[in-house]
Amino acid sequence: MKFETPAGRNPIDELNVVGKPVDRVEGPLKVTGNATFAYEQHAVAPSAAYGYVVGAGIAKGRIASIDVTRARAASGVLAVVTASNSGKLDKGAFYAARALAGPDIDHYHQAVALVVAETFEQARAAANMVDIRYQRSTGAFDLEAARRRARAPKQGPYSPPPETSRGQFAEAYAAAPVQLDATFSTPDQAHAMMEPHATIAAWEGEKLTLWTSIQQINWGVRDIAKTLDIPKENVRIVSPYIGGGFGGKGTILSDAVLASLGARHARRPVKVTLQRALMFNNATHRPATIQRVRIGASRDGKIIAIGHESWSGNIEGGRPEAATAPTRVLYAGPHRMTRLRLAHLDLPEGSAMRAPGEAPGMMALEIAMDEMAEKLGLDPVAFRIANDTQVDPEDPGRPFSLRQFVECMRLGAERFDWKKRPASPASRREGRWLVGMGVAAAIRGAPVTKSAARVRLDRHGMVTVETDMTDIGTGSYTIIAQTAAEMMGVELDSVTVRLGDSQFPESAGSGGQWGAASATAGVYAACVKLRETVASKLGLDPAGAQFVAGQVRQGGRSIPLAQAARDAELVEEDTMEYGELAKRYAQQTFGAHFVEVAVDAVTGEIRLRRMLAVCAAGRILNPKTARSQVIGGMTMGAGAALMEALVVDKRHGFFVNHDLAGYEVPVHADMPHLDAVFLDEADPTIAPLKAKGVGELGISGVAAAIANAIYNATGVRVRDYPITLDKLIDRLPA
């Protein structure tokens, strides 16, 4: 099926099941321990051996020698894999890092060996016997120092244009009556997901099966086949449950490659998990940025010129952090410029992390908007509303498909009682606490991509959906079940959903906020074909048949759905593909974040008191799972604002705080009551369900809203994240 014209009324619009806040269908399996994550697939590989990864002890240089004699002779050891016996290895199409070092070392904790043994303890002990001698060389580990050598990155399939412009930015900015020129920095951040990167690999002849924790099954098949130089047809990937990804498990990483190599050498299944320390330095992270934002405005608050530049670093072949993305489309202004620059750094690879581009970009842009509002003497909400636009500001002939940004701002201000915000910073005090409020806009793209599904109907009226879509904790099982139930006119408990297997039809996968809208559209397409088959089997006109309460109805006739499959199971499969609507319309999700904080006037300690997100993200398929995604994003945004930062040892080139003790993330005690509100909207240009993604909108803008609230409370403006008390304590009001 091809989606080429805006959706009209269709069976989803009945909203008998879709749009209801139903519980997650896989929830009972999760809470009872019966959901089988990658490392727990014991039944499929009962004889699995254990692999232990040896990470490089330097960040830049070469392996002078590696002696595995003692390790090979150790008790229980089955194999030791290094670059000398791994065979030629390529890289996948998405990540730039090599899975196995040798002889060159590209970054600290890059894998240099895998030791496979009968037990985990034996593998770990033998790994300590691998004797490696290095030749260290000078590396680049400091973004500020490397900034002057940064260059325009190449534009690739996953990267935005390195530069954009409209009008005459430099001249218009110089002539603007009111100007702001500010520089911000965001640190390296870790995904810090609960489930580590983990894989079980098993060979059967030339065919490889991986049970692994991965977001994009189709990318994983492509990339492991490319890395090992085997046909894609010989690869199967299974990933039914994932304990968090946040972009860090987009496709295969070293755990999958090394498990595959270990299983080949040991001639039996091998399971590998990255040690927690290696998750920070071996896998990917969100790279640090230095950002400069310039805004020129008229005295009545209209933006005349807006420019955003961002510098980030990466390994050879890595992509930039696209921090300028939100500035390209969020606010009006005739004269515009964005510029990305990429420096070479010998740190672990920087790559996608929840809302790549928008999350760090808005950490700068939305503070700048607050600073500009203050210069103009305008309320921050009013200033943002005054610069709304209903067309793409880079391409005014391209309207937004649906843009309720102003409505988000106004509703949020009303619900949060914004009128009580102190007009002057550091003017509201409750005992020893300084209290303030902050606001920030939210924006995130609403992409959709090709996605397929297979739907089965059996003689009992049970509907089974199969697609290789993954569920990384977002509720994919549930919204896919709701889609199928709505389309086939059955109750939710009459639908079974099977996900995360490359033997199923290829879906969009989880990432980029495209998963929900894309995967459900694929299920919709398959259900349309199944409805046609069912109606024909029952002697009804497919165009007029209604599927309601387990019955197929038309012209006074009502026939049980199950009767169509009385003689044999009915199976249909289809793919949703897309035409040119995304080119005709600017498709985005919008929101507004409001925060109240209290800051200890003596110590500078920060307490979050209230947080509100108002979101406009198309049809909300399940308000309960959508709210869960948004408040999860808000929590991650709070971490980015107040505590999360990978500390770089700039002498030796590694992230020092590479575990969950040293890398701080928010816990329940850190977070206040979180409120998430969704505007009623359905975007017919996106897909037949008229839904958009929402999981990354929840983080976009949150950190800046917190920073703005801290300024309102204290009068102290911090432009370098995270905002820790040492950046406040000597600047607080007397």
What pLDDT, in 10s, does the model give residues 257-286? 999 999 999 999 999 999 999 999 999 999
Q: Is the pLDDT score of 470 beyond 90?
A: yes
pLDDT confidence of 159, banded at 50, 70, 90?
confident
How many CB atoms are located within 10 Å of the residue 25 CB? 20
* Mean pLDDT value across residues 241-251: 97
* Mean pLDDT value across residues 597-625: 98
Q: Tell me if 348 sits within 8 A of 355, measured CB to CB.
A: no
Q: Is the pLDDT score of 158 beyond 90?
A: no
Residues with Cβ < 8 Å from 233, sequence gap 6 or more? none
Q: Which residues pair with 440 in a beta bridge?
A: 593
Tens-place pLDDT, residues 9-22: 999 999 999 999 99
At residue 157, the pLDDT reads 82
Which tokens is 450 given?
């090709």
* Mean pLDDT value across residues 382-388: 98
Sign of the Cα pseudo-torsion (209, 215, 220, 223, in order): negative
* Mean pLDDT value across residues 489-507: 98
* Mean pLDDT value across residues 107-113: 98
Cα–chain-centroid distance for residue 190?
12
Tens-place pLDDT, residues 286-316: 999 999 999 999 999 999 999 999 999 999 9
At residue 209, the pLDDT reads 98
Q: Which residues pair with 291 in a beta bridge?
A: 184, 310
pLDDT confidence of 138, banded at 50, 70, 90?
very high
At residue 201, the pLDDT reads 98
pLDDT confidence of 160, banded at 50, 70, 90?
confident
Q: Out of 358, 371, 644, 696, which one is annotated catalytic?
A: 696
Q: How far apart are CA 282 and CA 279, in angstroms?
A: 6
Q: How far apart are CA 707 and CA 677, in angstroms?
A: 22
Preceding peptide of 103 cis, ω within 30°? yes
Q: Tell me if 470 sits within 8 A of 588, measured CB to CB.
A: no
* Mean pLDDT value across residues 505-511: 97
Tens-place pLDDT, residues 509-559: 999 999 999 999 999 999 999 999 999 999 999 999 999 999 999 999 999
Tens-place pLDDT, residues 319-343: 999 999 999 999 999 999 999 999 9
Q: How far apart are CA 396 and CA 641, in angstroms?
A: 34
At residue 4, the pLDDT reads 97
At residue 309, the pLDDT reads 98
Domain at 2-35+448-583, CATH from 3.30.365.10, 3.40.80.10, 3.30.1280.10, 3.90.1560.10: 3.30.365.10
The helices-and-strands tally (H runs, E runs) of the chain is 17, 32
pLDDT confidence of 734, banded at 50, 70, 90?
confident
How confident is the prediction for the chain on average, in pLDDT?
Answer: 97
| Model-wide pTM > 0.95 | yes
Q: Tell me the residue length of the chain.
A: 734
Instruction: Indicate the pairing of strand 451-457 with strand 570-578.
Output: antiparallel
Task: Give catalytic status of residue 696 as yes or no.
Answer: yes
DSSP state of 132: E
Cα–chain-centroid distance for residue 369?
25
Q: Is the pLDDT score of 399 beyond 90?
A: yes
At residue 103, the pLDDT reads 97
pLDDT confidence of 611, banded at 50, 70, 90?
very high
